[in-house]
Amino acid sequence: MSTLDSAPNTPASPVHVAPVTFTVPAGETAGSAMRPLELPNKGPQAIVVVKDSTGQLRDLSWAPEADEEVTAIASDTEEGRAVIRHSAAHVLAQAVQKEFPGTKLGIGPAIENGFYYDFDVAEPFTPEDLKKIEKAMKKIIKSGQKFERKAYSSVDEALAEYTDEPFKTELIADKGNVDPNSDEATEVGAGELTCYCNVNPRSGDVEWYDLCRGPHVPTTRYIPAFAITRSSAAYWRGNQDNAGLQRVYGTAWESKEALDEYQTMLAEAEKRDHRRLGNELDLFSFPDDLGSGLPVFHPAGGIIRNEMEEHSRRRHIAGGYSFVNTPHITRQDLYERSGHLGFYKDGMFPPMIVDAEYDENGQETKPGQEYYLKPMNCPMHNLIFDSRGRSYRELPLRLFEFGTVYRYEKSGVIQGLTRARGFTQDDAHIYCTEDQLEQELTTCLEFVLSLLRDYGLEDFYLELSTRDPKKSVGSDEVWERSTEILSRVATKSGLELVPDPEGAAFYGPKISVQARDAIGRTWQMSTVQLDFNMPERFNLEYTAQDGTKKQPIMIHRALFGSIERFFGVLLEHYAGAFPVWLAPHQVVGIPVADDFNQYLDDFTAELRTRGIRAEVDTSDDRMQKKIRNHTTGKVPFMVLVGGRDVEGNAVSFRFLDGTQVNGVPKDRAVEIISVWISSRRNVQPSEASVAELV
Q: Would you say the C-alpha torsion 570, 573, 578, 582 has a positive or negative sign? A: negative
CA distances from 387 to 276, 382, 390, 538, 539 (A): 46, 9, 9, 12, 12
Q: Is residue 596 classed as helix, strand or coil in its secondary structure?
A: helix
The answer to whether 427 is a known catalytic residue is: yes
In sequence order, what E strands does 293-381 have? 296-297, 322-323, 329-331, 352-354, 357-358, 364-366, 369-373
378 is in an annotated binding site: yes
CA 21 – CA 40 distance, rounded (Å): 14
Half-sphere exposure of 360 (CA within 13 A, CB side): 0
Per DSSP bridges, beta strands 459-465 and 497-500 are parallel
Nearest alpha carbon to residue 565 among 419, 453, 461: 419
Q: Using an 8 Å Cβ cutoff, are 627 and 638 in contact?
A: yes
Residue 651 phi/psi, 5° resolution?
-140, 170
Which member of 216, 316, 407, 521 is catalytic?
407
Which member of 237, 510, 565, 626 is catalytic?
510
The answer to whether 378 is a known catalytic residue is: yes
Q: Using an 8 Å Cβ cutoff, are 54 and 71 in contact?
A: no
Q: Is residue 384 classed as helix, strand or coil in its secondary structure?
A: helix
The answer to whether 510 is a known catalytic residue is: yes
**For 386-390, which contacts have Cβ atoms below 8 Å and span 24 or more sequence positions?**
386/538, 386/539, 386/540, 389/542, 389/543, 390/431, 390/541, 390/542, 390/543, 390/552
CA distances from 372 to 184, 247, 351, 354 (A): 34, 37, 5, 11
Nearest alpha carbon to residue 110 among 85, 132, 133: 85
Q: Using an 8 Å Cβ cutoff, are 119 and 129 in contact?
A: no
CA 66 – CA 51 distance, rounded (Å): 15
Nearest alpha carbon to residue 248 among 84, 126, 383, 390: 126
Residue 5 phi/psi, 5° resolution?
-100, 150
Nearest alpha carbon to residue 88 among 46, 138, 150, 45: 138
CA distances from 624 to 71, 251, 600 (A): 62, 43, 17
Q: Which amino acid is at 244?
A: G
429 is in an annotated binding site: yes
Nearest alpha carbon to residue 593 among 639, 642, 638, 650: 642
Which member of 398, 521, 556, 585 is catalytic?
556
Which member of 146, 247, 340, 429 is catalytic?
429
90 is in an annotated binding site: no
DSSP string, 1-27: -----SS-B------PPPPPEEEE-TT
Q: Using an 8 Å Cβ cutoff, are 416 and 456 in contact?
A: no
Burial of 330 (0-12, 13-18, 19+ CB in 10 A): middle
CA 327 – CA 406 distance, rounded (Å): 12
Half-sphere exposure of 214 (CA within 13 A, CB side): 29
The answer to whether 429 is a known catalytic residue is: yes
Which member of 97, 145, 425, 529 is catalytic?
425
Binding residue ranges for Zn(2+): 378, 429, 556
Catalytic residues: 378, 407, 425, 427, 429, 510, 556
